[in-house]
Structures are given as structure tokens and as C-alpha cells.
Amino acid sequence: MTTAKKTGGLAGVTAGATALCTVGKEGAGLTYRGYDIYDLSDNASFEEVAYLLLHGALPNRQELDGYIAKLKSLRDLPAALRQVLEMIPAGAHPMDVLRTGVSFLGNIEPEGGFSNQQDTADRLLACLPSMLLYWHRFHTDGVRIDTETDDDSVAGHFLHMLHDKAPSELHRKCLDTTLILYAEHEFNASTFAGRVITGTLSDMHSAVTGAIGALRGPLHGGANEAAMELIQKFSTPEEAMKGVMGMLERKELIMGFGHRVYTTSDPRNSVNKKMSKMLAEEAGDMTLYDVSEAVESVMWNEKKLFANADFFAASVYHFMGIPTYLFTPIFVCSRITGWAAHVMEQRANNKLIRPAADYIGPGLQKFVPIDER
């Protein structure tokens, strides 16, 4: 039997089967349902990828048009949910807002049986950006935004609600690409949490609520916000190199680096890095990009640690005028596709997920009644 000592954090343990994704598989790399991530990020839209994950195959033109129309029709928020969002304090973290929002939606629009799982997934995909931006704009600008915009894409819809105007094609495309890169990643912590919840035959809202809770932490999705806070501390590459060297000497973690599965690079990083450079050039200020590159080179030279998907995603979002505290919630707006696909896959061949633990507590104790202790 495999013991916990050898498998701390389940590293290297195969905990189930999936047809959705390969992560760092020899000869395949990162694929979604057999499609290479670079083919998808270069040529597909996020809606095509969402359809691929949730429906099992890439859509044809007619299917995609129908899917986009369906998602657009599901963006509006029920009045009761808007009320709840208004009651959540302005100082809350938006990951907590989404966690509450999804949970509340599960009360007013319950899944009502597994035969509705596809529609539940589409509803969540369509309305998560609305939930997030409704709360954000209400508390930062004091406005109750219309969550139904004309934009066809999730990325366009997101940026439109955030900035009150349709985005440039460059910004829309860059956000769309990060949504593709974040959509799915096999048995990562939040997906696995969602599958554990699903394994008890619970509902999709519960699985997604739990997954949001898992994604929130800085060792997982929260790393993109922490990476932004790090690079903003430095005003020159030299300062960054010195600062990061000091952090490494103090054994501090540098967020946005390292990975449980990848050993030499994260395939998503090169795409994010290219976009970060492009957006820095557009902004006419290379400082953040140069600082990021300096951090990247110190991490590789000193520790052979590489930037993961979260590191350059941080500056990509920053250059589009997205506030840092919305970075991890964007991850949710994308990963909902992977989570929901895993919920459906788990249900299709369900077995309760209940591992064993090595007991390390005291031996059998003699019970002493309370008044004799």
C-alpha cells in the first residue's frame, strides 16, 4: 500500500481517470480532449473551447453561433442575487463574492437533477462575469450595471462591463486567450475538490462553490494576484533581481513560479509572456515587463524554477486596466468550463472518493470520566 510519507500532497498519485486533459504527458504536453493548447490558443475562441470541454467535440459554425447566442441569453442576474451582491461588503475579496454568488444561485435556481447539468454549466459560464462585475461596479462606482451587453464573447462582455465600453480587439483577444489557457488542467486542486464533492452525488453548485474555495489560495489560483503584488514592488530590473535574491535567501516563496506536475516549463507561459510584451509595447512602458523578465531569469538561474501560467498573466491583466483583485476571479470565469466538464465526467462513472490515512495519533487510551480527570 502507498503510504502518506511517500505521497505527501498526493504528489505523483493517479487518483482517477479523465478524457478531458493531459498535463505534461510525454509526446502530448497540455491538451484538451486531444487538442494541443497552442492550436487552441492560436486558432480557437474561448467559446469554442468551452463547447469542446462541455459538449465533447469542437463545434461547427452553426453550433458555435447557437452556443454563443445561448450564453448571451443567460447573462442576466435574478433580482434576488443582485440584492445579495449589493449586501456583500465592498472590502470583501471578489473570490468570496463568487463563492457566495454561486452558492446563492444554487438556492434560487437549483440544478434539480442531473439531466439539467448541461444547462446548469452554461448558466454558470454565462453569468459568472456578470456576478463579479455587478458587485465590483456597484461597490467601486456606485452604479447598478446592465449585465446584458452586445458583445458576443465572454472576454468582450467582461471588459465591457468593467470599463463601461466595448474593448479594443487586441484587449478582447488577449483576455480570450488567457481564458483558453486557464480553462482546464486535469486533477489540479480545485478540480479535484469539485470531483470529491461530485462523488457524493451532490449538485453542481456545491461542487463549483467548493472548487472556488480551493482556487482562492495563493498556492493555486491566487498566485496571479500575488505575482502582481511582487512585480509592482520593483521599479527596475536590477532592483527586482536584488529583491528576489533576498527573498530566496530568506526562503520565501515567489508566487507564479514552480508547478506540481511540470518540471522544466509551463507551456502556457510562453503565450502569456508574448502577450505581456505586446501589451507593454502598446502601453509605451516596458518597466513591468522588464521587471518580470528579470524575476524570471533570477528564478531560473538560482533555483531552476520556471514561470507558471500565473506569472505573466498578471501583467497581461494589469495592462488591460483590470484591478489586481479581479485576477483570480477571471480564472474562475474560465475554469468553470473545466470544473463543470469534470463534474459531468465524474457523474458518468461515479464512485465515492474516500481515501485512507496513515494513523499517527496516540495508542489506545483509557477513558477517564470527566470528574476524575
CB atoms within 10 A of CB 62: 8
Q: Which of 82, 137, 259, 277 binds ligand COA (CB under 6 A)?
A: 259
Q: Which of 106, 156, 256, 338 binds ligand COA (CB under 6 A)?
A: 256
Quick one: 210 or 256, whose CB is closer to ligand COA?
A: 256
Q: Among this protein's residues, is 93 annotated catalytic?
A: no
Tell me 239's DSSP state.
H
Q: Among this protein's residues, is 259 annotated catalytic?
A: yes
Q: Quote the least distance from Cβ 11 to ligand COA, whole Å.
A: 6
Quick one: 201 or 253, whose CB is closer to ligand COA?
A: 253
User: Can you tell me the distance from the alpha carbon of 150 to that of 74, in angstroms, rounded to the nearest whole number?
Assistant: 13
Q: Quote the least distance from Cβ 258 to ligand COA, whole Å.
A: 2
Contact region with ligand COA (CB under 6 A), list: 38-46, 276-284, 289-297, 308-316: 308-316
Amino acid at residue number 357: A
338 lines the binding site for ligand COA (CB under 6 A): no
Q: Which of 329, 324, 326 is nearest to 233 (CA)?
A: 324
The alpha carbon of residue 61 and the mean position of all alpha carbons in its chain are separated, in whole angstroms, by: 27
3-state secondary structure 85-122: HHHCCCCCCHHHHHHHHHHHHHHHCCCCCHHHHHHHHH
Quick one: 237 or 258, whose CB is closer to ligand COA?
A: 258
**CB-based contact 58:51 (threshold 8 Å):** yes
Task: Count residues near ligand COA (CB under 6 A).
Answer: 18
* DSSP H stretches of helix in the chain: 37-43, 46-55, 61-73, 79-87, 94-108, 117-141, 154-163, 169-182, 189-199, 204-215, 223-231, 237-249, 267-283, 287-303, 309-319, 327-348
Quick one: 127 or 295, whose CB is closer to ligand COA?
A: 295
Residue of 176, 185, 310, 318 marked active site: 310
Q: Which residue is nearest to ligand COA (CB)?
A: 258
312 lines the binding site for ligand COA (CB under 6 A): no
Q: Which of 13, 15, 245, 253 binds ligand COA (CB under 6 A)?
A: 253
Q: Which of 45, 130, 308, 315 binds ligand COA (CB under 6 A)?
A: 308
257 lines the binding site for ligand COA (CB under 6 A): yes
User: Can you tell me the distance from the alpha carbon of 369 to that of 313, in angstroms, rounded to the nearest whole number?
Assistant: 58
- Give me Rg for the CA atoms of the chain: 22
154 lines the binding site for ligand COA (CB under 6 A): no
Q: Report CA-CA distances (Å) from 284 to 49, 235, 278, 280.
A: 32, 15, 10, 6
Q: Report CA-CA distances (Å) from 52 to 55, 58, 124, 356.
A: 6, 5, 16, 35
Q: What track of x and - describes contact with ligand COA for positions 260 through 289 (by CB under 6 A)?
A: x-----------------------------
219 lines the binding site for ligand COA (CB under 6 A): yes
Tell me 143's DSSP state.
-
Q: Among this protein's residues, is 55 annotated catalytic?
A: no
Quick one: 230 or 288, whose CB is closer to ligand COA?
A: 230
Quick one: 81 or 241, whose CB is closer to ligand COA?
A: 241
Strand-strand pairing, 21-25 and 29-32: antiparallel
223 lines the binding site for ligand COA (CB under 6 A): yes
Residue of 160, 171, 259, 318 marked active site: 259
Q: Which of 2, 7, 9, 245 binds ligand COA (CB under 6 A)?
A: 9
Exposure string over 307-346, b if 16+ CB within 10 A, otherwise e:
bbbbbbbbbbbbbbebebebbbbbbbbbbbbbbbbbbbbb
Q: What track of x and - describes contact with ligand COA for positions 164 through 193 (by CB under 6 A)?
A: ------------------------------
| Window 286-305: residues binding ligand COA (CB under 6 A) | 303, 305
310 lines the binding site for ligand COA (CB under 6 A): yes
Tell me 272's DSSP state.
H
Q: In DSSP terms, which residues pair with 36 in a beta bridge?
A: 31
Q: Which residues are known to be catalytic?
A: 220, 259, 310
Q: List contacts with ligand COA (CB under 6 A).
A: 9, 11, 219-220, 223, 253-260, 303, 305, 308-310
